[in-house]
């Protein structure tokens, strides 16, 4: 039985804030600039209202789904986030154990503080997040490493030609990991840890290059414009994540929920569309799925759970969302996520 406190994600976050170094709290919690996009992701959900159906006799709910061949106990995955050893001594392996316990999948960050092989040993279904590096040979080696560790998809982050200006980190002077920690997936064949390079020259040719270097499904993370969604389909991408990097890159960017329906409409069901950013309740998951997402990813709440209780805390966060999602589906008159439709969602005032 899980013993982590908190009956919702906000309460888990409050516990995490008490336990984290304030500098590290700001690193995880903060966004770029004035943090308008960071706030906007949650506010976009707060403006939506559910319009439930009644007397539909749905019976027991079945939350299971499959995305790119990965079976999930519910349509919620763990988003890629960096530096888990700053949140808990168990690091990313603890996150993976909690994810495995909840029966879903974890996207391992290229900036993880433990290597993908070590994380894979914890037993969770893994995807791997990649920032394509200008050094193509090194990029190919990272991809091979992810493949050999058993990762089931390659999540290519495409919204970061440069680092966003995160003013909380600038005020603290938090520009690098403390001594003794490193981005372990950036170790080269000589054991040296390379810096992650944001490549402003990244274009569609690099996606084609990746397609020729891996048999893994390629997921583009950071798509907000429907024209880019169409281009992704044309370039043979296997899935999209509607994401603004949790508000950590371009401040003032559209909230992910606001971008979801136009992107899903452009794709027209040809490939799965996922969403991250701002999901804090099971009802938020319902809204996202009804508006076109196959599943959602959560980032910061997983870090809160990790800081609050290690692997048990991660699982607690996921189980809270599961319970809320199950109840919301029942109250909307829906038995399975695939039955959610856009007519169940209406715009409204703030909660």
Q: Which of 24, 84, 245, 316 is catalytic?
A: 245
The burial class, CB within 10 Å (0-12 / 13-18 / 19+), for 203 is: exposed
What residue ranges in the chain does DSSP mark as E strands? 48-50, 65-67, 70-72, 76-78, 105-108, 125-130, 154-157, 218-223, 239-242, 273-276, 295-298, 345-347
The tokens describing 189, both together, are: 């064949």
Q: CA distances (Å), 176 to each of 51, 104, 116, 298, in order?
A: 46, 31, 20, 24
Is 235 annotated as catalytic?
no
The full DSSP string for 107-138 is EE-TT-SS-HHHHHTT--EEEEEE---S-HHH
Angle between helices 226-234 and 256-267 (to 10 degrees): 40
Nearest Cα residue to 213 out of 203, 205, 221: 205
Contact in structure between 322 and 328 (CB atoms under 8 Å): no
Instruction: List, by residue number, the catalytic residues.
Output: 245
């Amino acid at each position: 039985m899980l013993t982590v406190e908190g009956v919702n994600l906000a309460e888990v976050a409050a516990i995490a804030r008490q336990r984290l170094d304030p500098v590290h709290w700001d690193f995880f919690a903060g966004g770029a600039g004035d943090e308008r996009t960071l706030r906007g992701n949650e506010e976009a959900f707060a403006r939506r209202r559910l319009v439930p159906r009644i007397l539909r006799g749905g019976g027991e709910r079945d939350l299971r789904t499959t995305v790119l061949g990965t079976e999930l106990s519910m349509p919620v995955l763990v988003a890629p986030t960096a530096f888990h050893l700053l949140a808990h001594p168990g690091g990313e392996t603890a996150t993976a154990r909690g994810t495995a316990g909840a029966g879903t999948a974890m996207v391992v960050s290229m900036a993880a503080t433990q290597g993908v092989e070590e994380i894979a040993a914890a037993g969770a279904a893994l995807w791997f997040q990649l920032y394509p590096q200008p050094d193509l040979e090194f990029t190919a080696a990272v991809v091979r490493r992810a493949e050999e560790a058993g990762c089931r998809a390659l999540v290519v982050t495409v919204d970061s030609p440069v680092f966003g200006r995160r003013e909380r980190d600038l005020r603290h002077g938090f520009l690098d990991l403390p001594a003794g920690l490193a981005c372990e997936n950036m170790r080269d064949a000589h054991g040296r840890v390379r810096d992650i390079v944001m490549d402003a020259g990244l274009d569609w040719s690099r996606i084609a290059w990746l397609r020729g270097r891996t048999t893994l499904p390629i997921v583009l993370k950071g798509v907000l414009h429907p024209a880019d969604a169409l281009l992704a389909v044309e370039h043979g991408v296997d899935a999209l994540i509607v994401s603004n990097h949790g508000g950590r890159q371009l401040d003032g960017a559209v909230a992910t929920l606001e971008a979801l329906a136009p992107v899903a409409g452009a794709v027209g069901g040809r490939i799965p569309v996922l969403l991250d950013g701002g999901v804090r309740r099971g009802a938020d998951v319902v809204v996202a799925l009804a508006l076109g997402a196959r599943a959602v990813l959560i980032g910061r709440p997983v870090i809160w759970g990790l800081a609050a209780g290690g692997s048990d805390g991660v699982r607690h966060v996921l189980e809270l969302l599961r319970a809320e999602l199950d109840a919301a589906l029942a109250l909307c008159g829906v038995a399975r996520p695939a039955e959610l439709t856009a007519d169940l969602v209406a715009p409204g005032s703030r909660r």
